[in-house]
Amino acid sequence: MKKQSGVYWVILLCLLFTETVFTSSQRNVLLLLADDGGFEIGAYQNKICQTPNIDALARRGVIFNNAFTSVSSCSPSRAALLTGMPSHQNGMYGLHHGIHHFNSFDNVTSLPTLLRRHDVFTGIIGKKHVGPASVFRFDFERTEETLPINQVGRNITFIKQLTKEFLAEANKQQKAFFLLVAFHDPHRCGHHEPQFGPFCERFGSGEDGMGLIPDWKPWYYQWDEVQLPYNVQDTEAARRDIAAQYTTISRLDQGVGLVLKELETAGHSGDTLVMYTSDNGIPFPGGRTTAYEAGLRVPLLAALPGARAGAASAAMASLLDLLPTVRHWLLHQPPPPPPPSSDRPKSLLPILYKEPPALESDAVFASQAHHEVTMYYPMRAVRTRRYKLIHNINFGMPFPIDQDLYVSPTFQDILNRTRARQPLPWYKTLKQYYYRPQWELYDIRRDPAETNNLHGKPSLAATEAELAARLRGWLRDTHDPWRCAPAAVLAADGQCAPLHAGL
């Protein structure tokens, strides 16, 4: 009997040891994605909007102060993030759903496909908004394709339950996992469900007809106390719009806390790389759909056990860098070092351990063609630590306005004041906002609001030429079909055939 008992304990210890080895060697990724989220976060020095859970995540890891999306539009940004390729290269030129009907190319390899080949369990909860399904297929999908978007993207109690379900399945299969929790907050309700407020801030609030989200404790904000972004006019209508946005950001923050708690309960807080970011900038004038700072700059937090904690990084980072970062961490595959002059996506993993030297030549790139199918306004941009060069390819047309922004209190306020010739305390006129030159060059360090176009300035001729050459090189390397526009046609041999149109 004693001998059998001894064998039993040996077997038990072996099993425990095996489980410990599995757990300690496992690597996982949790990516938390906001929808049109900006810097209304305590960790980014907003002192009004309450985001204690996101702030706590920032204290656990590295906060990036120079992070950018490669395209300021929902579906194109998500496709770029999941492929590591800009929108002009992966084919997702505009919004995926409805009449817009944009899809990536069928031969693109997405992150979930790549990870599945290495036996990683992949999941997405919330807003997917990319296609085709054959390219962006996750093992576990709970998205707007089969569930109401507000339930799966804003109901944080439901999101918590789905997260628990995914983690239980990952543990059951004993697989490393990649989970994308794509919140629909703080996206506007717009013209679809105006009864919930401009930002769906009343959805699930417990008010009559609004439903109830059990885990949500709504925060409400005074319109005259919000921190106004530089790109939003200082009027009561716009401030009330910002206050509504804050309420949905607080709901998002509470959802982040619930998801992180589920991660801890499942036993994976010590082996998971957790990242928080947004697909693009805020849905206000000068923000989403533009190549300006409020459209391209996004929050980015990354927490990894054993790496730096409570650190701020000045490294230039792009959402295109997330795919090589996830691959580096999950698959133990650091990407090969790029050539010295390369502007390819890179792994951010080394930055979580050590701050790299800051070089003036560090740069990120942006590319946009559409948002809605009617919003054809292709732009290309390169942004270094000091300068940004924007190429507005369709500069002869007025800049298009998306439907959600058009019906917003903020934009209607701009329209009404312009129509009535009333004072408009904004950083531009509406005409200046609509009509843009072909080239825009800004000294971001001296002019962070991008109001003084330096294009053609003799003293910056060498700088502008260098930026333009670098942008052309990136467009060539990423096979941009628009790289010759608008002055030339892309010929079959890859060269630009001039149109002699005087551009």
Query: Catalytic: 189?
Result: no
Choose, from 49, 74, 189, 484, the residue flagged as catalytic: 74
State the pLDDT at residue 90.
Answer: 98
pLDDT, tens digit, for every residue of 360-379?
999 999 999 999 999 999 99
State the pLDDT at residue 340.
Answer: 61
Query: CA 250, CA 188: separation in Å to the nearest integer?
Result: 14
pLDDT, tens digit, for every residue of 263-296?
999 999 999 999 999 999 999 999 999 999 999 9
Strands in 144-194 per DSSP E? 177-182
Query: Is residue 9 over pLDDT 70?
Result: no
Residue 2: band (very low, low, confident or very high) from pLDDT cuts 50, 70, 90: very low
State the pLDDT at residue 228.
Answer: 96
The residue-averaged pLDDT of 78-95 equals 98
Query: CA 257, CA 233: separation in Å to the nearest integer?
Result: 32
Structure tokens at 14: 């072996």
The residue-averaged pLDDT of 102-123 equals 97
Query: Is residue 431 over pLDDT 90?
Result: yes
CB atoms near residue 377 (< 10 Å):
20
Residue 17: band (very low, low, confident or very high) from pLDDT cuts 50, 70, 90: very low
Query: Is residue 472 over pLDDT 50?
Result: yes
Query: Is residue 13 over pLDDT 60?
Result: no
The residue-averaged pLDDT of 186-214 equals 93
Mean pLDDT of the chain: 93
Query: CA 317, CA 272: separation in Å to the nearest integer?
Result: 21
311-318 vs 62-68, strand pairing mode: parallel
Query: Is residue 429 over pLDDT 80?
Result: yes
For the entire predicted model, the pTM comes to 0.93
Share of the chain above pLDDT 70, in %: 94
Residue 392: band (very low, low, confident or very high) from pLDDT cuts 50, 70, 90: very high
Query: Is residue 3 over pLDDT 70?
Result: no
